[in-house]
């Protein structure tokens, strides 16, 4: 996993870059994986990514960035965390906090529904899901008109140039289509098996071969 944060990733023209991805020498996708789900293979031994489901938010030739959707943080409650970030948390809803990945754990990233936009600082990840990483969105989730759906993640998962493609070639990840309900559902313990079921894969049939994320 890449440890260096991609500076200003929300401003990168990732949607204009189209890397070619291959698995075992055969093309599996032409273009960016932004908006797709990465589903961890059972071979991953790193506890931070074991049975992880990651929503890829940006992906280009230089880097990839995503948010883990099923690793709960021991931070909280949300109101206390917001207070620590300098935002009045008195009106904060009772919401789960995710560990989005090992990079920049001191930074907050909010995945939310499309009914909120932070004036050019919001990235549309896929249908029904956006990403904002500015202080404005923290104020929005405590306002009288918060996004209909949202989840706050601390940190993110990142890859350098070619790293994600290499991990795909080594069968570290399976790729699936995003599902809005899966993104925002707080039932973290079942997300991995449900994500596999959506692509027609049974966990019992997966072979533990390779994998070193």
Instruction: For 89-135, give the DSSP string.
Output: -TT-----EEE--SEEEEEEEEEE-TT---TT-EEEEETTEEEE-SH
What's the domain range around 173? 10-205
| β-strands 150-159, 64-68 pairing | antiparallel
Helices marked H in the chain: 78-84, 135-141, 163-169, 180-184, 188-198
User: CA-based angle 127:62:124, to the nearest 5?
Assistant: 15
Q: How many domains does the chain have?
A: 1
Residue 75 lies in a domain: yes
Average per-residue pLDDT for the chain: 82
Q: Are 3 and 103 in contact (CB under 8 A)?
A: yes
In the predicted model, is pLDDT for residue 45 greater than 80?
yes
Residue 123 lies in a domain: yes
Residue 3 lies in a domain: no
Task: Report percent pLDDT > 70 for the chain.
Answer: 82
Residue 212 lies in a domain: no
pLDDT tens digits, one per residue of 119-168: 889 999 999 999 999 889 999 999 988 999 999 999 999 999 999 999 99
Q: How far apart are CA 180 and CA 159, in angstroms?
A: 24
Residue 2 lies in a domain: no
Residue 47 lies in a domain: yes
Residue 18 Cα to chain centre, angstroms: 20
Model pLDDT, residue 213? 55
Residue 1 lies in a domain: no
Residue 192 lies in a domain: yes
pTM listed for this prediction: 0.82
Burial class (CB in 10 A: 0-12, 13-18, 19+), 164: buried
Which CATH number covers residue 76? 3.40.1740.10
């Amino acid at each position: 996993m890449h440890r260096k944060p991609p500076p200003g990733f929300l401003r990168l023209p990732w949607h204009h870059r189209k890397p070619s991805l291959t698995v075992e020498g055969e093309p599996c996708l032409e273009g960016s994986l932004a908006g797709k789900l990465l589903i961890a293979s059972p071979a991953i031994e790193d506890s931070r990514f074991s049975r992880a489901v990651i929503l890829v938010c940006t992906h280009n030739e230089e880097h990839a960035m995503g948010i883990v959707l099923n690793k709960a943080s021991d931070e909280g409650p949300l109101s206390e965390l917001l207070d620590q970030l300098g935002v009045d948390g008195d009106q904060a809803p009772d919401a789960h906090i995710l560990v989005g990945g090992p990079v920049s754990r001191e930074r907050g990233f909010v995945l939310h529904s499309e009914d909120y936009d932070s004036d050019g600082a919001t990235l549309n990840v896929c249908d029904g899901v956006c990403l904002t990483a500015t202080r404005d969105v923290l104020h929005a989730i405590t306002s009288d008109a918060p996004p209909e759906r949202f989840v706050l993640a601390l940190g993110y998962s990142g890859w350098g140039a070619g790293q994600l493609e290499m991990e795909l070639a080594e069968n570290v990840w399976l790729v699936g289509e995003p599902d809005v309900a899966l993104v925002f559902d707080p039932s973290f313990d079942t997300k991995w098996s449900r994500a596999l079921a959506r692509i027609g894969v049974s966990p019992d049939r997966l072979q533990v071969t390779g994998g070193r994320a």
